[in-house]
Amino acid sequence: MVDSPKSSSSNYKEVKLGSTNIFTSLPCLISIDQENYFLVQNQSGRYSLLSDVCPHMWGTIIIRDDCFLCPDHGWRFDLSKGICINGPRSQMYNIDVINRNGILFAQFQYQ
Ligand code: FES
């Protein structure tokens, strides 16, 4: 679904996701390097990827009704930024996505 990653340094990787036209329904599940992410767009139009790995104890997050849900212990996260809405201060791990002339690129930063 996505193009091969392009590396410019050992701690940065940019991945082409594709045209905004193909992402007609968000959140949209995307696989990159055998990891799953939800492509989301916040109220100001900014895109990002949210990991489906729960920040609590690494459960697998799904979409349920009007939010993200980790079935393991019931934490819920909002659909635009992945902020926990029913538990401790926490947030789904997120990756910046930039829009270059209608093409989306995920920007992975490694420490
Ligand atoms: S592992 Fe997700 S809520 Fe506990």
Domain residues of the chain, as ranges?
6-109
Q: Cα separation of 22 and 45, whole Å? A: 16
Name which CATH class applies to 6-109: mainly beta
Structure tokens at 48: 């990002």
- Ligand 1 neighbourhood includes 6 CB (under 6 angstroms): no
Give the ligand 1 atom nearest the CA of 73.
Answer: 3
- Ligand 1 neighbourhood includes 54 CB (under 6 angstroms): yes
Q: Where are the alpha helices (DSSP H) in the chain?
A: none
Tell me the pTM: 0.90
Best residue among 50, 53, 56 to mutate for probing ligand 1, ranked by most atoms within 8 Å of CB: 56
List per-residue pLDDT tens for the chain, 111 residues long. 565 455 556 799 999 999 999 999 999 999 999 999 999 999 999 999 999 999 999 999 999 999 999 999 999 999 999 999 998 999 999 999 999 999 999 999 987
- Ligand 1 neighbourhood includes 16 CB (under 6 angstroms): no
